Amino acid sequence: MTREVAQWENLTDAGILVVTGTGTGVGKTVVTAAVAALACARGDRVAVLKPAQTGIGAGEPGDLADVARLVPGVTSRELARYPDPLAPATAARRAGTPPVTPAEAAEAARELAADHDLVLVEGAGGLLVRFTDEGGTLADVAALLGAPVLVVAAAGLGTLNHTALTVEALRSRTLTCAGVVVGAWPAAPDLATRCNRTDLPAVTGVPLIGALPDGVGALLPEEFADAARRGLASALGGEWQTAVP
């Protein structure tokens, strides 16, 4: 295990864990729910914070609705939502409403941490997507909280570069990378995908600590918890092994 993740035997013991993606649509919400499901299964009080939800109108179900459906009993909190499917800063500007600042997101996470064992802070898109026009990002939230960051990556071609850049951005800010999880592992992986399972830790310098099967977000809660246990490594409370089948 690398120096970056060695201080916690189980990353959910960190209290607050920030979840980012290498981009949009990589399975970040499903991974967040999977981590929450395993923590709930061991008796932890779990909260999921979504500082900014974009692309969803008022009254429509967003990412937190998916988490609540997959993990009954989890606490969820959304600070703001904007209808345009854009970066939060841009969407807030177009909506004519205030953006969520990193300080506000960090304060909300601390409030939830006061009466929960684990708070998962799920970003919007990638690590450096702007929350504010002044440049505030999820990286700033993690820095304010002193929290480790879990990186959710795609499975296929192109993911090595995107994931390495995300981890490098974390290191340049002296933030702790908790490891990488593949958000949607295909049932029939191609050559690039199979090789990426070995190459991701090699090019990033951090461990691959999970690969959730594509489609698990459609499962019932009990089935989802089982898939989470099989798809996440022991660092996240699961049983997944890194060896390539």
The catalytically annotated residue of 11, 21, 50, 102 is 50
Phi/psi at 123 (5° precision): -80, -175
**Tokens for 58?**
């008022």
Q: Would you tell me how many other CB atoms lie within 10 Å of the CB of residue 66?
A: 15
Alpha carbon distance 216, 10 (integer Å): 23
Q: Which amino acid is at 142?
A: A
Per the DSSP assignment, residues forming a β-bridge with 210 are 232
| Known catalytic membership, residue 50 | yes
DSSP 97-131: SPPPPHHHHHHHHHHHHTT-SEEEEEEEEETT-BS
**Tokens for 107?**
């304060």
Contacts of 184 (CB under 8 A, 6+ apart): 26, 27, 30, 154, 155, 212, 213, 214, 215
Contacts of 145 (CB under 8 A, 6+ apart): 16, 18, 106, 109, 110, 121
Return the active site residues. 50
